[in-house]
Structure 1
Amino acid sequence: MSDAGHVPGTVRPGGRTARIRTAVLRAAEDALIECGFAGVDLAEIARRAEVGKTTVYRRWGTPQGLVADLLADMADQSVRRTETGALADDLRANARLVLRTLTDPRQGVLFKAVISAAAGDARTAEALHRFYAARIAEWSPCVEQAIVRGEAPDGTDAAEVVRAVSAPLYYRFLVSGDPLDETVADQSAHAAACAAGAGAYVR
């Protein structure tokens, strides 16, 4: 995106505008959870948020623009990485954070709705990709520090290691329906840490 403009809903001023944004994004969350992407009707969102329709249409423009801003807000609010000084423990913390998100009664349903919406809409998909890129960038320093400590070889792709932790959890969440619990999360983290240490993710 050039400096000449911005995607509707991505400006973050304070005061009344910030309160309106918060109310509208929470209303969008509720609609996604209850009805999926089909439920993100701007007029209905305005009603739920007790905000004027004109404000919502002017600021977000489309349901896709609103969901994109919701994802940007979710990225901003996401939990920071854990740094324990050991790669296996850092990755375990990451896996358990992903587990808590996916198994949360509200957040899990919200992520399924957003992922489903992204499958059929390019703009929503782009916003979802930005969200996950931000989360991978947040946790990649744990792997980079592990390389410095000698826990993984030089040239290890830190982002791939982080992806390897959550990929099995998302597979269970979205595809297989197999149980998701701390044992599964810890196994995923352990496997990624062992593979990283063995050089499996060297570029």
Structure 2
Amino acid sequence: MDANRAELNDSFQRLVTIMDELREKCPWDRKQTAQTLRQMTIEETFELADAITDSDWKGIKEELGDLLLHIVFYAKIGTEQEQFTLQEVIDGISNKLVSRHPHIYGDVQVNDEEDVKRNWEKLKLKEGKKSVLGGVPRALPATVKAMRLQEKAKQVGFEWDTKEQVWDKVEEEIGELKEAIELGEKEKVEEEFGDLVF
């Protein structure tokens, strides 16, 4: 292990030790659950997105630290609940990256980024994902969710043949949105608006 890796290991072990101490000794940290941390994690993610948008590298570094803390925090809670350990989290993502990159760790040939994306989606289906459109978080804002679904659909060739087919679908979605608005169903309105944007 080179010196930089050793220092990285020491820094990570220090963070894990601090988390253990905070969970044991700090009343606020001890009280937290996965549910109470959820909204804070979402906010931290948006703060990172803002820093990236602003090309604020100092801010990016800080927000990545905050998110790393959240990952370690959730793993600590997972360990306490006997659900999973931090090592299982790390091993899980490492194994996923290796299996999803057969063009690096196997004998699959790719020509470009699009081939990589198509292979990624095919591998997810083989792993038991029910749909290419799966994996888009339900909690995403409707417009962001629509954009992600659209990207995924395009990767597998889901596009209409004629403008008329597109307009038929748009009119159908507008009708569903109007109906949800008339019924006053806020959640359904958001869902239908997302469908319309998609």
Name the TM-score, length of structure 2 as normaliser.
0.26
Name the TM-score, length of structure 1 as normaliser.
0.25
- Look at both structures and tell me which one has the larger radius of gyration over its CA atoms: 2
Q: Which structure would you say has the larger RCO, counting Cα contacts within 8 Å and 6 or more residues apart?
A: 1
